[in-house]
Amino acid sequence: MEIIIIADNRELNSGIPDLLEASGVHVVMQQLVAGDYMIHDEIVIERKTKEDFVQSIINGQLFGQCAKLKRTGAVPLIIVEGNPYRTLHDISTEAVKGALLSVSISWQIPVIRSSGPEDTARLLMMAALKQENPPVFIRRKGIKPKKLQRQQHYILQGLPGVGPALAYRLLHHFKTIERIVLADVKSLEQIEGIGKNKAEAIFNFFRKTI
């Protein structure tokens, strides 16, 4: 199974794209509108060193970056390399805790700490594998949309491993939900972001008996 991760051009100097490539990941370098890494157009990751994270609190940029991550429509995640409570910046522990709570609760963006670039690369690979092999049942949040096309997208996001971006591509390709239900594994694999495992999971979803 090939893992494909999009990395922002600015991440080249971090060494993480090279670490991912060395582990067998196919890395595509391009400029991202938000975040530093994108997995299957469904997970967007902002990577920060502990110094960068605290600096973004001080200069007020952190919550603006959170807003940009949320606007992508993908599942957002922030990875902080190192201990944000121990930096060169003059900031209280309570201020850092408050920022972390705001990101996690108010913005609903999980924050994961890594020990460094190697650990970050492993976390990115783990996230890609989790997205490729998701649990069968996914709880969707929010109010059920009223317009037909949005209702269709909402329904499709109940399929294994299907997020907003992939739901759009499925509907754009097959045109109707009925055609998606009837599609075989090979046809599903033609959609960008759907590997063999995910295609089989979607195919079997419609055919398993309770």
Query: pLDDT tens-digit profile of 117-144?
Result: 999 999 999 998 876 665 544 445 554 5
Mean pLDDT of the chain: 88
Please give the model's pTM, rounded to 2 decimal places: 0.66
Of 36-40, 64-68, 101-105, 155-159, the poorest mean pLDDT is in 155-159
Residue 92 lies in a domain: yes
Q: At 209, is the pLDDT very low, low, confident or very high (cuts 50, 70, 90)? A: low
Number of structural domains the chain divides into: 2
180: in domain: yes
Q: What is the mean pLDDT of residues 173-183?
A: 91
Do 110 and 71 lie in one domain? The reply is yes
Predicted local confidence at residue 147, as pLDDT: 60
Residue 74's domain comprises: 4-132
- 128 and 153 co-located in one domain: no
For residue 138, tell me if it sits in a domain.
Answer: no
In this structure, the answer to whether residues 107 and 173 fall within a common structural domain is no
Q: Quick one: pLDDT at residue 185? A: 94
Of the residues 132, 164, 194, the one at which a domain ends = 132
Query: φ and ψ at 121, to 5 degrees?
Result: -60, -40
Is the pLDDT at 7 greater than 80? The verdict is yes
Q: How far apart are CA 70 and CA 74, in angstroms?
A: 7
- Do 113 and 168 belong to one domain? no
Token output for 177: 């939900």
Query: What ranges in the chain are assigned the alpha helix state H?
Result: 16-22, 50-58, 62-71, 93-101, 117-132, 148-156, 164-174, 177-182, 185-189, 196-205
Task: Look at residues 86, 101, 132 and tell me which one is the last residue of a structural domain.
Answer: 132
Residues 168 and 105 in one domain: no
Indicate whether 168 and 115 sit together in one domain: no
Q: Are 86 and 50 in contact (CB under 8 A)?
A: yes
